[in-house]
């Protein structure tokens, strides 16, 4: 009985220590998982956009008319996957023309084609959405031809 208060005190201290160590471990693990997940997601999206942007070709005619491209984003809707291509156009001259984008799959077969009128004034820039048929899935491993 005389050792009971000492035993109780030791038990209380060790419980607090264990609880604090568990809390620290859980917090550190959560931090690592969140950071890794975030880096993984960023790596995937950047990889797809970079790979895709490298395979987009704009015609010489459009380049001469003062139209260049920046970032190209692939996305879908609730009922489709990768059927919307958002192109960031940069206007070096006034521009008003119908543009056609052809999508080709990894094997080089055309899988979609859509045209939109694109307008812009010199020194402007903006995204323009090209919405393909919902059955078209623009492949990030394929290529785009902008003419």
Per-residue pLDDT of 27-73, as tens digits, reads 565 555 455 455 544 444 444 444 455 588 999 999 999 999 999 99
Question: Are 88 and 98 in a shared domain?
Answer: yes
Of 88, 87, 130, 83, the C-alpha closest to 111 is 83
pLDDT at residue 23, rounded to an integer: 62
pLDDT at residue 95, as a whole number: 98
The Cα angle at residue 90 between residues 139 and 120, in degrees rounded to 5 = 110
- Which is nearest to 97 in space by CA: 52, 66, 136? 66
Same domain, 36 and 91: no
- The domain boundary, picked from 39, 54, 69, lies at 54
Task: Give this prediction's pTM.
Answer: 0.64
Residue 137 has which token pair? 């899935």
Q: Are both 64 and 39 inside the same structural domain?
A: no
| Helix residue ranges, H only, 55-122 | 60-64
Torsion of CA 130, 134, 136, 139, to 10 degrees: 70
Instruction: Give kind and range of the element (H or E) at residue 145.
Output: strand 143-146
Identify whether residues 62 and 49 lie together within a single domain: no
CA–CA separation, 138 and 81 (whole Å): 8
Cα 103 to Cα 70: distance, rounded to the nearest angstrom = 17
Q: What mean pLDDT is predicted for residues 79-98?
A: 94
Q: In what order do the strands lie in the sheet with 125-131?
A: 67-75, 84-91, 125-131
| Structural domains of the chain, count | 2
């Amino acid at each position: 009985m005389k050792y009971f208060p000492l035993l109780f005190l030791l038990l209380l201290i060790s419980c607090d220590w264990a609880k604090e160590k568990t809390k620290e471990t859980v917090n550190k693990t959560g931090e690592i998982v969140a950071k890794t997940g975030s880096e993984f997601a960023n790596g995937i999206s950047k990889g797809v956009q970079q790979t895709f942007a490298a395979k987009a070709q704009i015609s010489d005619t459009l380049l001469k008319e003062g139209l260049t491209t920046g970032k190209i984003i692939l996305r879908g809707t609730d009922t489709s996957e990768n059927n919307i291509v958002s192109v960031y156009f940069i206007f070096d001259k006034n521009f008003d023309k119908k543009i056609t984008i052809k999508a080709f799959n990894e094997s080089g077969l055309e899988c979609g084609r859509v045209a939109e009128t694109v307008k812009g004034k010199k020194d402007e820039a903006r995204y323009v959405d090209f919405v393909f048929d919902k059955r078209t899935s623009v492949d990030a491993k394929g290529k785009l031809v902008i003419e």
